[in-house]
Amino acid sequence: MSIIQEHSIKLDITLPKGDVSAKMDVFYNPVMVSNRNISVLLLNCIENMGMNIVDPLAGSGIRSLRFMKELKKGKMNHLFVNDRKENFKKTFKKGCTINKISLIMQKKMTIGTEEASLFLLNRINDAVKPEEFCGYADYIEIDPFGSPNPFLSAAVARIARQGIIAVTATDTAALSGTYPRVTVRKYWAKPLRNYLMHEIGLRILIRKIQLIGVQFDKALMPVLSYHQEHYMRVYVRSEKGKEKCDEVLRQHQYFFYCDKCLAFKTSVFNKEKCGCGEEYDFAGPLWVGKLFDSQLVEKMERENEFSEDAKFLQTLAAESKQEMAGFYDIHEIAHKMKIIIPKMAEILRKTKGVRTHFSPSGIKTQMSVKEVMKMLQG
């Protein structure tokens, strides 16, 4: 056993010599530190106070321990933490002791070792006083090893009005089009296997989450969505109402891409010819609306205390001001045109564009591909 330090929290666990696996005695993934940093930052930046927070797939419990230590005073009313591993209660209580979690705070915890969906549906009803809790959670963390699909229905059923569901998907090969049949089967959409694949996969994931939501008359609106490392991450806020659900569904469309001229667009149809005469390839259906709440993302950038995420948040904040489905990859365009690429700063200035986190050579701009090409030639 060895002591691992992650910001304010220490863990007494044995790290695997090989790859991280769901079969580990205590599941801890050091690659996901940024994922946990941003969840802490987001909760500290939203207005919600006195939240009932549920972490049903807790692994080592590191995220929940960090919530108890790093969330602002008054943010959390009760913590529901669960993992199916038999030794989870012992492990988590040991973590509380090592990190000197107060007894007062520990009284505001419910620890479980059930299947995640059962914990969500059954345990959070009877854990706190009825006058403090109505059977719904204000924040639910869905961070599985693989696809989040098995846990979405229970999470949506238990999320409160204006509550937030945070979803991680690590099955990026399916979402990004490596296995298109799997994408259709698991996410009910056709992927696109080119430089746009991560944004397309993220938008496919958002639509799948939203389709589960509208069954409960809950419109799940993205407030922060991104791709990083080997995973996709989506935070959605739950808004109640049939009209809002209908508005969500209107933003489930198709994404067209032309391999010949590099043009792209969104459409309610899945078949159309490009202006250059070539037949568009398509992806979807997928979410074509906003990926970010720009005010929230800008606030997160301003109040960020995690130096390792500063550059990433800076990119997200800039990108949130130029919302559009799709982006141009300057290397792709330059290769097509057989030209030398100008400096990125010059390209951004001339296109009035912004960088995108999806690609170091990608930009988002309201210009058409023809206009971008003309600018690059000049």
CATH number at residue 339: 3.30.56.70
216 and 151 co-located in one domain: yes
Query: How many whole angstroms separate alpha carbon 153 and alpha carbon 361?
Result: 37
Given a cut of 70, the residues of the chain with pLDDT beneath it are 1, 14-26, 125-134
Tokens at 244, concatenated: 């809002």
227 and 303 co-located in one domain: no
pLDDT of residue 16: 62
126 and 226 co-located in one domain: yes
pLDDT of residue 135: 77
23 and 108 co-located in one domain: yes
The tally of domains found in the chain comes to: 2
CB-based contact 110:78 (threshold 8 Å): yes
237 and 319 co-located in one domain: no
pLDDT of residue 127: 53
- Report pTM: 0.95
7 is a domain residue: yes
Tokens at 201, concatenated: 């996969």
Query: How many whole angstroms separate alpha carbon 102 and alpha carbon 92?
Result: 14
3-class DSSP state of 48:
coil
Task: Look up the domain containing 307 and give its range.
Answer: 292-377
225 and 336 co-located in one domain: no
* CATH number assigned to the domain comprising residue 120: 3.40.50.150
Q: How far apart are the first and last CA of the chain?
A: 61
DSSP assignment of 156-212 equals HHHEEEEEEEEEEE--HHHHTTSSHHHHHHHHSSB---STTHHHHHHHHHHHHHHHH
C-alpha dihedral, 127 to 133 to 139 to 144, nearest 10°: 30
CB-based contact 161:77 (threshold 8 Å): no
185 and 246 co-located in one domain: yes
pLDDT of residue 117: 97
pLDDT of residue 294: 98
145 is a domain residue: yes
348 is a domain residue: yes
173 is a domain residue: yes
Q: Cα separations (Å) of 257 from 118, 167, 251, 264, 345?
A: 42, 27, 18, 4, 26
Single out the residue in 219, 251, 283 at which a domain terminates: 251
pLDDT of residue 12: 86
